[in-house]
Structure formats: structure tokens, C-alpha cells
Amino acid sequence: MRFAGLRARPEEPLPGTVGVARVDRRTGDLLRRIGPGDIAVLDRLDLDRRTAEALVAAEVAGVVNAAPSISGRFPNLGPEVLVAAGIPLVDGVGAEALRRIREGSTIRLHDGAVYQGQREIARGTEQTAELIAAQLVEAKAGMAALLEAFSANTVEFLRRERALILDGVGVPGLRTPLRGRQVLVVAAGPHVAEELRALRGYLREHRPVLVGVDRGAEILHAAGHKPGLIVGDPDGVPTEILRAAARRGAEVVVPAQPDGHAPGLERVQDLGVAAVTFPASGSAEDLALLLAEAHGASLVVTLGLRAGLREFLDRDRLGENPSAFLTRLKLGALLVDGSAVATLHRPRVSAGATLLLVAACAAAIAVALIVSGAGPVYAAELAGAWRALLAWTKGWLS
């Protein structure tokens, strides 16, 4: 029965973060298809910084981890990155949650629980900055054991890849000339686009060969730059970027597995892109650095490739991939971080002082014209020259 004049009260929105669930145990596959507003549901013990940065870059609404994001074995950086970006992280919901949460369903995160509508389907711990800080303090006790394991794995990697690391055996040939040239290697990261803009002066002056590692190629393309080399799994690079690479004669270097299988190679070849395989067990970032060194680059500048102790340890499988450490030893003084280059290329004269000097010069010219009686004749020309001078000055300072 309806009563005239009465309206149904609108339902109040349920509290928490709502999004479409993207579920996958394989983190790499999940990162390729996740998008803004989605909620990532993964199984990642000791969530690493690189995965967290990729989730932040994808603009996810939230993250649900079946495993503990901080196990206490070492102070990993991923949870801190997510929470600092304002992304809720519900931790340790258990492996069963990956079966309960269906791909493409709408879920809601609130107070450590996962809901479908008003029905709770999983529960864990919602991480906060305070909880993470306390866990990281305890996790530092595990650093000694992790360093020992890292050292053992480094020795094993050197035994397995010593011909590559020591003598460059297995490095593929390239059509792109690198000898005697500077190389800028760009990998994905949350602030890499801004760091790339800070290198505009360096790029104009030295015109380095641009190397995009995986999604780093996408960052270069979005900034209007043309990578000469793309290193990594081609399946993670948009087709339009690969086609643009084919048009300008760029090359793709595809990491190959020990048995020679190179995932994504057929897709690249079908698009008409020149491609070579690089059989090695190192990461795509490390293969890019080894390529630059082996082919005689005079300097290798990096963006998005962090190399501190915590970054070395904060990698997949607790540092079981020690190629980063040995690769950086191999390059030595050739390797420079892009932030240092940006600092060295900043103008020493402030923008304000330069503009003040330009204004003073223009004023002196104007006074000279007025005194000579030619001011009215050249007023329009002077105004045009002034605007052009200002535009040039701003472009030089940028």
C-alpha cells in the first residue's frame, strides 16, 4: 500500500572503499590488466616496493593481500608506499579469499574486512602507518640472515652467469649505435615522469640514446620522447608504442629464458619491429644496463632504478635475484643516477635575476630610442622583440 505524499528515504552509502575486484595469484599478470578504481586482490608475501609503486601508478582504489604484506623476515617497503599514497591495504586475508572474491565483482573494504554488499566474505588487518612502522622495526632483526642468504645467492648467480658478467658473453648485437654515446635508461616508477621533466636540459645538450625498460617505454612516449631501445617483456608494452618504434627503426630486446623461449617475441615480430633476444636470468633493468656497457656507452644515466641496500633486498623472493648488485659493480663509474644529473644541469643564475637583466637591457634600449627620437617609429618592433626575448628566456630556463 502506498501513502500519498510519502517518499522512500534514500539508502545511505555503506562505509569504506568500493571498487571492482581484479584477482590473480600471478602479480605480473594482475598488474598488466588493473586500472583506476579497481581493487587488486593478490597473494604477495612481503609486498615489495616495485609492486606497490606499480599499483600506485595504476591508481587502484585498494589492495587485498592474501599473504602477510610484512612477514617480519626483513623490512620490505611495499606496504609503506601504498599507505603513504592513501591506498587502503587489507592484509593477510588468507588464500581462501582468492576463491571467494570473484573476478569483476564489486567489493568493499572497511575496517579490515572485505564485503560484497553487506555480506562479509573475508577479513584481515587494515594496515596503517603506525602498524607498518612497528612491524618494520621488528623486521630489521631479520636483516643479518637475509644478507647471508643474499651473499650466497650472489655467489651462485656469478657462478651461473660469470661469462656474461665478466666478459659480456651472450650480449646480443644491436643496430642502434651506443659506442661513445650517453644512454638514458628509464624504468617505471611513481615519480619518474617528473624526474624526466627535470632532465630536459640534459636531454637537449647531450641527446642520449633513450632506453625504455618495460613500462618505462610508455613513460618516454607519453613525454614526447622516442626510445631507441625497448628492453623487457613486449606484452607489457602497448601496441601503439611498438608500432611507433617500428616506424622509426627502434629495436626491442626481449629477455629469453634459459631454454631460449622468449615470451612476447612473436607479437613484436608480427608488428614489424626489429627484435633480438637476450638469454640471461637477470631482470630487464639489469639487461638494459649490461647492453649499454657491453656496447661501449660513455655514460649510463638511470631513472626509476633504485640501488640502495633496502632496494637490493626488497625484491622478489627475498633477494634471490642478485643480478642488480653485480650489474652495478660491473658498470662502476659509468652509472649515474638521473637525480644527480638533474641537479648538475640546473641553471646557476636564478630565473628572477635573468629576467631582471633582460628587462634592464630592454629598458636601456627603449630610453636610447626615445632620446634619439625614433621611439614612435620602432615601438611595435620593440614590443615584438621584447615578447620574443621573454619567450626565449623562459624556454632557456625551463
User: Do 226 and 250 form a contact (C-beta atoms < 8 A)?
Assistant: yes
57, 92, 127 — which closes off a domain? 127
Are 265 and 321 contained in the same domain? yes
Residue 164: predicted pLDDT: 82
Average pLDDT rounded to a whole number, residues 341-369: 62
Does pLDDT of 319 surpass 50? no
Whole-number Å distance between alpha carbons of 94 and 356: 64
2 is written with which cell numbers? 502506498
Residue 316: predicted pLDDT: 47
Can you give the CATH number for the domain in which 108 is found?
A: 3.50.30.10
Average pLDDT rounded to a whole number, residues 181-210: 91
Scanning the chain, the segments in alpha helix (DSSP H) are: 27-33, 49-57, 78-84, 97-100, 129-139, 143-167, 192-197, 200-206, 216-222, 239-247, 265-270, 284-294, 309-313, 323-331, 338-344, 351-372, 375-397
Residue 256: predicted pLDDT: 87
Higher-pLDDT residue of 159 and 109 is: 109
* Number of Cα atoms under 13 Å in the Cβ half of residue 23: 15
Contacts with 205 (C-beta within 8 Å, 6 or more apart), sequence order = 345
Residue 317: predicted pLDDT: 45
Does pLDDT of 341 surpass 60? yes
Are 156 and 268 contained in the same domain? yes
Are 27 and 102 contained in the same domain? yes
- pLDDT averaged over the chain? 82
Residue 1: predicted pLDDT: 45
Residue 324: predicted pLDDT: 76
Does pLDDT of 321 surpass 80? no
Residue 242 lies in a domain: yes
Judged by average pLDDT, the poorest of 44-58, 146-160, 213-227, 377-391 is 377-391
Are 188 and 332 contained in the same domain? yes
> Could you tell me the residue range of the domain that residue 373 belongs to?
351-397
Residue 380: predicted pLDDT: 58
Are 279 and 389 contained in the same domain? no
pLDDT, tens digit (0-9, with 9 covering 90-100), for 275-296: 899 988 778 898 999 999 999 9
Does pLDDT of 58 surpass 80? yes
Higher-pLDDT residue of 309 and 294 is: 294
Residue 239: predicted pLDDT: 87
Higher-pLDDT residue of 144 and 246 is: 246
Closest of 204, 255, 246 to residue 228, by C-alpha: 246
Does pLDDT of 267 surpass 50? yes
Residue 220: predicted pLDDT: 94
127, 153, 177 — which closes off a domain? 127
Residue 135 lies in a domain: no
Residue 137 lies in a domain: no
Are 336 and 192 contained in the same domain? yes
Are 244 and 161 contained in the same domain? yes
Does pLDDT of 373 surpass 90? no
Share of the chain above pLDDT 70, in %: 77
Residue 372 lies in a domain: yes
Whole-number Å distance between alpha carbons of 355 and 70: 52
127, 152, 169 — which closes off a domain? 127
Are 355 and 332 contained in the same domain? no
Closest of 313, 351, 390 to residue 147, by C-alpha: 313
